[in-house]
Amino acid sequence: DKGGWSSFMAKEISEEPEALEATLLGRVHDGLVVLDEIEGGFPDDVLRGVDRIVLLGAGTAAYSGLLGKYAIEKWAGVPVEVELAHEFRYRDPVLSEHTLVASISQSGETMDTLMAVKYARERGARTLSICNTQGATIARESDAVLYTRAGPEVAVASTKAFTAQVVALYLFGLHLGRVRGALSDADSRGLVAELQALPAKLQEVLAQGGEVREMARQMSDTRSVLFLGRHVGYPVALEGALKLKELAYIHAEGFAAGELKHGPIALIEPGQRVFVVVPSPRDSNSLHPKVVSNIQEIRARGAYVLAVAEAGDVAVLPFADEVLRIPLAGPMFEPLLAVAPLQQFAMELAAAKGLDVDQPRNLAKSVTVE
């Protein structure tokens, strides 16, 4: 039941704040993350002995993994690799009992991911499943499960499940950081509060859906769109591009903004549409001026720039053709706000082209074959 929405995808995007809230529910006590449910497979002493984490997934799930990498390395100080599940088991990954392999899957039935989990297990790694479907095969094949609680996702393109995966990975990172003594309680509490503030902020972002629709309608004959982002904006760029490919059948690529001058800038010609996910000007890494200068570089070559930028960021105004705003959030949390307009954009562009938003051609919701 679409509940009055034009598509399941529209409904599921609207449910993102709830998905986020549900994934946090019962996992925060006294302002700190408590993950009792993974203790069976990952008691604290095991977590303290982990020397490496491998995150596995496919498509959108792998992009949520990229965000997990930034967060887990920052908060827990453990090296994290993200790998496409279908690549992982066809090389000779180095694994040991100190390797934590966490798979990420909405359906919990993706064959590529399932086979990678089994492979990791056979080679002695411990496995954690981040899964949206109660009792799914991957969950059953893992040492522990951390459920995302996005609720059923019907549209083929993943939206609320992605948001919930990122939250689950962040919860895991906060838990790990505290167990390992890498994060103080005070810092943890601050980060948890940021997480808890997200649903309301996301609601504000989603309220700009009308603007996004207008933008998409004006671009319905566009043949190619590029997406740029840096740091945690980079996985957002990849995800924005994937959504546009699968829904609107438009050639789209996501790049790390720092990579521009190493090749992709050659693609820029007059009229090229480019989405840029702009980091907060308050960010302490000072990536903001670098991304603004990337915008200037592509603008000088004729690009049509669509910026997703923090409310009050005036530095982008002279150079961006269109600006979508996101509320202020900590640097690690911006992607959870910035991805929504890109999801909406892909959906609206597909709708403007008269395409089936919920069931794009050639795709299945759950890929149970290799």
Q: Which residues bind ligand F6R (CB under 6 A)?
A: 58-61, 105-107, 110, 113, 157-158, 242, 246, 366-367
| C-beta neighbour count of 49 within 10 angstroms | 12
Min separation Cβ 113 and ligand F6R, Å: 5
Min separation Cβ 170 and ligand F6R, Å: 17
How many helices (H) and strands (E) the chain has is answered by: 13, 12
Torsion angle (degrees, nearest 10) of CA 166, 170, 176, 178: -170
Q: Rounded to an integer, what is the distance from CA 159 to the centroid of its chain? A: 9
CB nearer to ligand F6R: pick between 222 and 343? 343
Min separation Cβ 108 and ligand F6R, Å: 7
Task: Clarify whether 365 is annotated catalytic.
Answer: yes
Contact predicate 71/53, CB 8 Å: no
Tell me the one-letter amino acid at 151.
Answer: G
Task: Determine the Cα angle at 21 with ends 12 and 37, to 5°.
Answer: 110
User: 10: helix, coil or strand?
Assistant: helix
What is d(CA 148, CA 22) in angstroms, rounded to the nearest whole number? 8
CB nearer to ligand F6R: pick between 246 and 283? 246
CB nearer to ligand F6R: pick between 28 and 241? 241
What is d(CA 87, CA 79) in angstroms, rounded to the nearest whole number? 19
Annotated active-site residue in 74, 245, 290, 365: 365
What is d(CA 349, CA 355) in angstroms, rounded to the nearest whole number? 9
- The residue nearest ligand F6R at its CB is 59
CB nearer to ligand F6R: pick between 246 and 313? 246
Task: Kindly report the three-state secondary structure assignment for every residue of 173-205.
Answer: HHHHHHHCCCCCHHHHHHHHHHHHHHHHHHHHH
What is d(CA 241, CA 234) in angstroms, rounded to the nearest whole number? 11
What is d(CA 324, CA 306) in angstroms, rounded to the nearest whole number? 8
CB nearer to ligand F6R: pick between 83 and 310? 83
What is d(CA 178, CA 237) in angstroms, rounded to the nearest whole number? 30
The DSSP symbol for 71 reads: H
CB nearer to ligand F6R: pick between 7 and 60? 60
Min separation Cβ 268 and ligand F6R, Å: 27
CB nearer to ligand F6R: pick between 55 and 303? 55
Min separation Cβ 364 and ligand F6R, Å: 8
What is d(CA 278, CA 39) in angstroms, rounded to the nearest whole number? 38
Tell me the one-letter amino acid at 247.
Answer: L
Min separation Cβ 64 and ligand F6R, Å: 9
Of 34, 73, 49, 33, the C-alpha closest to 182 is: 73
Min separation Cβ 190 and ligand F6R, Å: 30
Supply 7's token pair. Answer: 């598509």
User: 287: helix, coil or strand?
Assistant: coil
- What residues act catalytically? 365
